[in-house]
């Protein structure tokens, strides 16, 4: 087949700027071949090169004594968890593919992140997802939502990995561009860490997995451009097709092969397929690599070199084998009935040389294509809409005295899809497979128990040492509305809420992986959002000693209707020292005391936690106001205090206050999701807020007597009930322990107050405006069935 002439129009269609093409000419000393142009196009895309985000990513804290493989070194970060054991984890996105083909886009996103984990030598043992869609009143949104959830369930369930945690938000900003972020965690011993390096000149290069097809062509480039109706239709071929059963075979075969010691390097063929795996392994090792494309298994006739190199067909691996041990590789992959082919060799040239039937179709310095992509410092400018956001005042809302009955607002918030139970989602996932799930979806964080069969196999004849009991907590968080209204505070809040969820579960953080979902970085206002969110993430990670182990950047998330809200999703993993420390969010026993740790309302916040709140959006139809302030020192003190209280014994439940505020948190505590069961146990509570309001009024009166202006600080009932002031946790304990918990919290500098008592079948609020009660079963019905009703 005759290759097309390299014209400015063809270069532009490959998303390469004239300046980048000039740089290509300088590197090669000649015009590129068509295959080389495709290689540069995918490797220099934002998805593979991070050319617009590298300067920002360098600001993240990535080093700590327990970090064994840091951010950017390999396919995933690795963290020491003690006793010679380690975990590998990472989060990535499949946003654009899921917008075009929701089932396969989401399914192959799961497959790709699983490969990133076992490529490191770890056995994948748990997954989570973070999803964003438009409003469910839109039939197209319902189609996308249903397809994405089905795709995640299909791949994870068939592979045999529990999807244990995650989050789902609904906002019209995501209507044309849903977000599908997926996370995987694996376990390994320190000595089992594998590297994606083409080491050893003369070592053979093996291709393993199903044959290469035309699916997924240039998927990395597709993910690095704005999503429009035209581009989506043109790029349906850029969406891969996954086979989870094949991936399971590939995983087990690779882990068995790694145990033999025959592997010099291993890399999955993910974004950019064969292109990325070859040049990156050579660049990391400082070697060269030469491959022959005619030896690559192909399932489509007459595939061109361009198509073979850029295909993103799934479940494929590149393995560099120690010379002389080829037969072990062949034997193991034949045993697992997997296709394999010896396609090349490691060289000392420092170049990636690609041949097709003996003819050189690409000859590029490996380091320059893989590691030396252009890096840009984009213009940043604060968006004009923030002036109106900052100008919003509580005086613009109806007087809080009109809140004669808070229950209608609570009912609407509990039924709001973003707050409502995600039972409809996770009931489709097998969250019990592998029998390691301790706390299933539905609490602040999931908890996983590591067992002997969680680890990869050891070499033949080596007896496995005992595996000490380990418990890991997993969560993901990000409030995109906060990030839209104040990107810096929103970035901080994403990390802090994740850490607070872990603390509520009894875990201390080990590390963070993030997925930065933003719009087009060439727009100064959108790049400013990205820069400020990253600054907030970095500051919070440093303050909470949660290093970033890796992640993903997904830019160009916008549709013809506009960009998405900035959404820097954070997944955090923590370690729970003892099983008795594991804590869940629901109330346990009649008569238990309900306590609030943290200030009920941030009196220094003019909006008292209502800025950007769910209450403001659902009840008043407003998405504005500066979001609640996030004080990192206060957050660290709260988390340390809560963990100390849990370790001391006596804390029966802990639940953080986030979307919907205190009233929603209390209602959720009444809905008990029993461990390993889907049938809820409901229990009521009586909460007396009159004391809090009286204390606030007394403080205002004292300030007024001193001549201070108190109108702005006077605590409103709607702010107390539904405000989202940061750094608050609802806990319960036996009545005899209540005073001890309160005293210990205050000794640590954490405000603490008793709110009420667990018991009965109603949720009762006592306020200055009166006493209001609702049946817990009625509230639970609204919360539990909201998504199912919307989807039906």
Q: Which residues are catalytic?
A: 47, 94
Which uninterrupted H or E stretch holds 379? none
- Contacts with 327 (C-beta within 8 Å, 6 or more apart), sequence order: none
Place of tokens 């629901």: 586
Q: Nearest-CA neighbor of 763 among 748, 750, 782, 744?
A: 782
Q: Nearest-CA neighbor of 484 among 512, 517, 515?
A: 517
Ramachandran class of 674: left when φ > 0, alpha when ψ lies in -120 to 50, beta otherwise? beta
Tokens for 151, please give them.
Answer: 């795709």
Tokens for 352, please give them.
Answer: 């990636």
Separation CA 581–CA 414 (nearest Å): 29
Q: Nearest-CA neighbor of 161 among 103, 245, 255, 104?
A: 245
Contact 389, 626 (CB under 8 A): yes
Place of tokens 């006493």: 771
- Contacts with 635 (C-beta within 8 Å, 6 or more apart), sequence order: 496, 499, 500, 540, 543, 544, 726, 727
DSSP 419-452: TS--HHHHTTS--SGGG-EEE-BTBSSEEEEE-G
- Straight-line distance from the first to the last Cα atom of the chain, in angstroms, rounded to the nearest whole number: 51
DSSP 483-495: HHH-HHHHHHHHH
Separation CA 581–CA 647 (nearest Å): 6
Which uninterrupted H or E stretch holds 470? strand 470-477
- Contacts with 432 (C-beta within 8 Å, 6 or more apart), sequence order: 162, 440, 676
Structure letter (DSSP) for residue 47: H
Alpha carbon 33 to its chain centroid, in Å, reads: 38
Number of H-type helices and E-type strands within the chain: 28, 30
Separation CA 505–CA 503 (nearest Å): 5
Tokens for 65, please give them.
Answer: 């004594």
Q: Nearest-CA neighbor of 45 among 274, 363, 530, 373?
A: 373
3-state SS, 735-752, equals HHHHHHHHHHHHHCCCCE
| Distances from the Cα of 227 to the Cα of 130, 135, 273, angstroms | 20, 19, 22
């Amino acid at each position: 087949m005759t290759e097309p002439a390299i014209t400015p129009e063809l270069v532009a269609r490959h998303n390469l700027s004239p300046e980048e093409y000039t740089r290509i000419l300088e590197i090669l000393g000649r015009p590129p071949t068509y295959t080389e142009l495709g290689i540069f196009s995918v490797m220099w895309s934002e998805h593979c090169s991070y050319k617009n985000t590298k300067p920002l990513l360098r600001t993240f804290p990535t080093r700590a004594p327990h970090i064994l493989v840091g951010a950017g070194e390999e396919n995933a970060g690795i963290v020491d968890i003690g006793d010679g054991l380690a975990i590998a984890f990472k989060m990535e996105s499949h946003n654009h593919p899921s917008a075009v083909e929701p089932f396969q886009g989401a399914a192959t996103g799961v497959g790709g992140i699983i490969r990133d984990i076992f490529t490191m030598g770890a056995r994948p043992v748990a997954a989570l997802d973070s999803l964003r869609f438009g409003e469910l009143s839109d039939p197209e949104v319902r189609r996308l939502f249903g397809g994405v959830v089905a795709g995640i369930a299909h791949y994870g369930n068939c592979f045999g990995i529990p999807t244990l945690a995650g989050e789902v938000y609904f906002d019209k900003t995501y209507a044309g561009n849903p977000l599908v972020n997926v996370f995987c965690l694996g376990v390994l011993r320190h000595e089992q860490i594998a590297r994606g390096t083409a080491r050893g000149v003369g070592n053979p290069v093996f291709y393993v997995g199903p044959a290469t097809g035309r699916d997924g062509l240039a998927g990395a480039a597709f993910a690095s451009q704005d999503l429009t109706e035209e581009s989506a239709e043109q790029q349906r071929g850029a969406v891969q097709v996954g086979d989870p059963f094949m991936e399971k075979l590939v995983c087990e075969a690779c882990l068995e092969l790694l145990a033999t010691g025959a592997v010099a390097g291993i890399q999955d063929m993910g974004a950019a397929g064969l292109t990325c795996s070859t040049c990156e392994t050579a660049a990391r090792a400082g070697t060269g690599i030469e491959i022959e494309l005619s030896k690559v298994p192909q399932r489509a006739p007459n595939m061109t070199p361009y198509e073979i190199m850029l295909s993103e067909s799934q479940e494929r691996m590149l393995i560099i084998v120690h010379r002389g041990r080829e037969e072990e590789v062949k034997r193991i992959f034949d045993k697992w009935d997997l296709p394999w082919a010896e396609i090349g060799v490691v060289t000392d040239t420092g170049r990636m040389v690609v041949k097709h039937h003996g003819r050189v179709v690409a000859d590029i310095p490996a380091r320059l294509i893989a590691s030396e992509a252009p890096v840009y410092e984009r213009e940043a400018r604060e968006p004009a809409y923030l002036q109106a956001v900052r100008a919003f005042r509580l005086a613009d809302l109806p007087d809080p005295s009109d809140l004669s009955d808070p229950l209608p607002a609570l009912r609407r918030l509990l039924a709001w899809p973003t707050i409502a139970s995600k039972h409809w989602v996770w009931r489709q996932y097998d969250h019990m497979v592998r029998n390691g799930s301790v706390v299933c979806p539905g609490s602040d964080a999931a908890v996983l128990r590591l067992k002997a069969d969680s680890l990869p196999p050891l070499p033949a004849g080596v007896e496995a040492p005992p595996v000490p009991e380990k418990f890991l907590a997993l969560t993901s968080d990000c409030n995109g509305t906060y990030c839209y209204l104040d990107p810096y505070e929103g970035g901080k809040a994403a990390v802090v809420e994740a850490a607070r969820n872990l603390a509520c579960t009894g875990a201390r953080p080990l590390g963070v992986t993030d997925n930065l979902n933003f719009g087009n970085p060439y727009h100064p206002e959108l790049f400013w959002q990205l820069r400020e969110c990253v600054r907030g993430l970095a500051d919070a990670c440093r303050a909470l000693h949660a290093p970033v182990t890796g992640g993903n950047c997904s830019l160009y998330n916008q549709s013809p209707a506009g960009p998405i809200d900035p959404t820097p999703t954070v997944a955090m993993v923590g370690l729970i020292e003892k099983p008795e420390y594991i804590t869940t969010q629901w109330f346990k026993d009649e008569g238990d005391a309900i306590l609030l740790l943290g200030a009920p309302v941030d009196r220094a916040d003019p909006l008292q936690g209502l800025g950007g709140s769910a209450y403001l959006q659902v009840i008043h139809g407003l998405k504005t106001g500066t979001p609640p302030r996030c004080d990192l020192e206060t957050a660290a003190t709260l988390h340390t205090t809560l963990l100390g209280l849990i370790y001391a014994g006596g804390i029966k439940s802990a639940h953080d206050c986030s979307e919907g505020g205190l009233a929603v948190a209390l209602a959720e505590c009444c809905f008990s999701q029993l461990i390993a069961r889907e049938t809820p146990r409901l229990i009521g509570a009586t909460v007396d807020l009159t004391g809090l309001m009286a204390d606030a009024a007394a403080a205002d009166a004292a300030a007024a007597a001193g001549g201070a202006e108190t109108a702005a600080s006077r605590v409103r009932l709607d702010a107390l009930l539904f405000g989202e002031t940061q750094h608050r946790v609802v806990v319960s304990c036996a009545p005899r322990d209540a005073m001890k918990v309160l005293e210990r919290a205050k000794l640590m500098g954490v405000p603490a107050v008793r709110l009420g008592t667990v018991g009965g079948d109603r949720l009762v609020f006592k306020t200055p405006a009166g006493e209001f009660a609702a049946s817990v079963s009625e509230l639970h019905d609204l919360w539990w069935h909201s998504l199912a009703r919307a989807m039906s």
